[in-house]
Chain A
Amino acid sequence: MERLLEVQGIKKYFPIRKRGFLSRGTRWVKAVDGVDFAIGEGQTFSIVGESGCGKTTLSRLLLLLEKPTEGSVRFRGVDVNRLQGHDLKSYRTSVQAVFQDPYGSLNPRMRIGAIINEPLQACGLLTKREREERIESALKEVRLSGDAVDRYPHEFSGGQRQRIALARALATRPSVIVLDEPVSALDVSVRANVMNLLKDLQKELKLAYLLIAHDLATVRHMSDYMGVMYLGKMVERAPSEEFYSHPLHPYGQVLLAAAASRGGLECDIRILQGEVPSPLDPPAGCRFHPRCLKVMDICPREEPAFTEVGKGHWVACHLYK
């Protein structure tokens, strides 16, 4: 696999400072705690997990909106946190993002033209004429008419707005787009439209996607590879068809069962007891052990290593040794 973007042992800890002069030391929220994966050109890597598992922090690390505590993000072999000046700008144009809520991510007081122009101007490489051409072609790519440039976001429906957000991401000709829950804020009947568009564009423009989602059916439809995160750790990583046919980690299995019971496969709702513990104070050993259906003696004592058990199928669980 040609590795376009590679994440190695990345960690992000957020400090929590206590007030008062008697308290000593700082506590840390380990939002992302040692995650590895790679995205190849033109591929989709999806990350699933419940809220608070660190998937959004991970995407912010890729977008250089956060500095990693440890580990690295490599883009075409270069550590992006060492980039400066021109190279940094060029990385920022290569990695773009589309966010969940198209009502919040477009400035209501800017015209569509200005919204799409902003990243182009920020990268500072193009003349006014070239920028106008880019805006026009970006709108064409997302199947919107050219007269949209002079209109405002409120004139568009949710699905159309998400296309505008996508056009803004496409304008700088990126090779990676981070999609943070791109369809979950949209109406059911327009979701399929946006998903089809994303897949078409991926083929046309050889885009790589990092898809963050919680709906497993959507993820299966969109992705080539996927990772399951739990409390800042990646617990399972596999080609997505492999994951859907043989999930190995008990958490992956439960997630899939919970989704399947709503997807019409069976109506038996398998229940995962309890809730996600606080990342401030994660359980010792395997972080999933208090909720795990197959917990063993070793689980609370020792943290399982992330090992390859099948072809490209990685899992962090004591059951597989």
Chain B
Amino acid sequence: MDKLLVVEDLKTHFFIRRGVIKAVDGVTFSLGRGESLGLVGESGSGKSMMCLSILRLVPQPAGRIVGGSIRFEGDNLLDKTEREMRYIRGGKIALIPQDPMTSLDPTFSVWSQLSERLRLHRGLSGKPLWDRSVELLRQVRIPSPEERLHAYPHQLSGGMRQRVIGAMALGCEPSLLIADEPTTALDVTIQAQYLLLLREMRDRLGAGLIFVTHDLGIVECMCDRVAVMYAGKIVEEAPVTSIFADARHPYTRALLKSVPRLGERSERLTAIEGQPPDLARLPTGCAFRPRCPIRVGLCEEYPPLAQFEGGHRAACWLAK
């Protein structure tokens, strides 16, 4: 099958005084058209840096992509010039950032922020530009879009702002949507509205979706496959159904167990011992080793991401 995005052995490192931070360290995955991949991990596990790497927006000069390749629609994005990247960002790959409060510029109206993108990427102007903007706001179900276009971000609620961002992402009909924790800042009922909208957007465009989150529950209803990241590496990747039924990596299992489930009341949660790893001082071998309940001597060497049946991959010596 012709894959939309193929990331191979991607390495994004940060060079700081304390040493080298391997934010993304040898990540390999692929994504087909119309497919959604959930990227799950704690803060610092490299999931956001993964997204920024795909867009080639890694903070300079400390951070650099030091190896690997990102093939998008057949071309390696790492070979593109900055000028070419500008057409891809926002045009073919759209990012929906986490915080709708800070990702809109408070000094510009919705109209000028939304139309800027359409003008640059689509060359629209005048009446067609206006009509398209209204149409986009209507698609993300913003009531009375003509009036809202003149509003400034502070005049909109959180859910409404996130919709405006959604409209901006939708604007150029991208073939890849990257949503970086798009709902963490929203209330539960608004969250549900937004997730449904996001699913709709994906289906209408037939676009690939990378959905970054730390909430395994959201992944279950949004994605086809899940990749769990820990300390810059993918430790497990599987179809959604099999990760919940049959997690193979001890970190995934522990993560699933440590979250209270709505369906039942448990007396005690099974907590994961220890602290999230310090990326500048990672242990040798498997990074989860110090917190792992089933570690063995072999874990001092890094386990390969082994392939199991049903498209399940896990990086653990003990995974069967």
Q: Is A193 within 8 A of B271, CB to CB?
A: yes
In the complex, chain A residues 4-50 whose Cβ is within 8 Å of any chain B Cβ? 50
Q: Is A189 within 8 A of B254, CB to CB?
A: yes
A228-260 to B contact mask, C-beta < 8 Å, 1/0: 000000000000010010000000001110111
Q: Is A255 within 8 A of B259, CB to CB?
A: no
Q: Is A262 within 8 A of B218, CB to CB?
A: yes
Question: Given A50-B189, A263-B263 in contact, is the A192-B271 Cβ separation under 8 Å?
Answer: yes
CA distance A190 to B190 in the complex (A): 26
In the complex, chain B residues 145-193 whose Cβ is within 8 Å of any chain A Cβ? 157-160, 187-193
B190-234 to A contact mask, C-beta < 8 Å, 1/0: 111101100000000000000000111110110000000000000
Q: Is residue B262 within 8 Å, beta carbon to beta carbon, of the partner chain?
A: yes
Q: Is residue B127 within 8 Å, beta carbon to beta carbon, of the partner chain?
A: no
CA distance A271 to B188 in the complex (A): 10
Q: Is A254 within 8 A of B189, CB to CB?
A: yes
CA distance A196 to B215 in the complex (A): 19
Q: Is residue A1 within 8 Å, beta carbon to beta carbon, of the partner chain?
A: no
What size tier do the contact residues of chain B reach? 35 or more
Question: Given A187-B43, A188-B214, A221-B260 in contact, is the A259-B272 Cβ separation under 8 Å?
Answer: no
Q: Is A188 within 8 A of B261, CB to CB?
A: no
- Could you say which of B158, B244, B260, B276 contacts A190, with CB atoms under 8 Å apart? B276
CA distance A188 to B214 in the complex (A): 7
Q: Is A217 within 8 A of B259, CB to CB?
A: yes
CB distance from B225 to the nearest CB of A (A): 15
- Could you say which of A189, A221, A255 contacts B188, with CB atoms under 8 Å apart? A255
In the complex, chain B residues 128-150 whose Cβ is within 8 Å of any chain A Cβ? none
Q: Is B187 within 8 A of A214, CB to CB?
A: yes
- Provide the residues of chain A in CB contact with B258, threshold 8 Å: 188-189, 191-192
CA distance A286 to B261 in the complex (A): 32
CA distance A246 to B59 in the complex (A): 50
Q: Is A218 within 8 A of B221, CB to CB?
A: no
Q: Is residue B57 within 8 Å, beta carbon to beta carbon, of the partner chain?
A: no
CA distance A181 to B276 in the complex (A): 21
Q: Is B221 within 8 A of A50, CB to CB?
A: no
Q: Is A195 within 8 A of B188, CB to CB?
A: no
Q: Is residue B81 within 8 Å, beta carbon to beta carbon, of the partner chain?
A: no
Q: Is A272 within 8 A of B192, CB to CB?
A: yes
Residue from the set A195, A217, A263 with the largest chain B CB neighbour count within 10 Å: A263
- Provide the residues of chain A in CB contact with B157, threshold 8 Å: 275
Q: Is residue B284 within 8 Å, beta carbon to beta carbon, of the partner chain?
A: no
**From A160, which residue of chain B is reached at the shortest CB distance?**
B275
Q: Is A271 within 8 A of B255, CB to CB?
A: no
Q: Is B193 within 8 A of A220, CB to CB?
A: no
- Provide the residues of chain B in CB contact with A272, threshold 8 Å: 189, 192-193
Q: Is residue A267 within 8 Å, beta carbon to beta carbon, of the partner chain?
A: yes
- Could you say which of B158, B192, B244 contacts A264, with CB atoms under 8 Å apart? B244
CB distance from B169 to the nearest CB of A (A): 20
Q: Is residue A280 within 8 Å, beta carbon to beta carbon, of the partner chain?
A: no
Q: Is A190 within 8 A of B272, CB to CB?
A: yes
- Other A-B contacts than A214-B187, A275-B159, 16 sampled, CB-CB below 8 A, are A51-B187, A189-B254, A189-B276, A190-B272, A193-B272, A195-B260, A199-B268, A214-B188, A259-B262, A261-B221, A262-B191, A262-B221, A263-B263, A264-B217, A264-B220, A264-B261
- Chain A residues in the interface with B (C-beta under 8 A): 50-51, 157, 159-160, 187-193, 195-196, 199, 214, 216-218, 220-221, 241, 244, 254-256, 258-265, 267, 269-273, 275-276
The 15 sampled A-B contact pairs (Cβ below 8 Å) are A51-B158, A159-B275, A187-B276, A188-B214, A188-B258, A192-B272, A214-B188, A241-B265, A256-B262, A258-B191, A259-B188, A264-B216, A269-B196, A271-B192, A275-B157
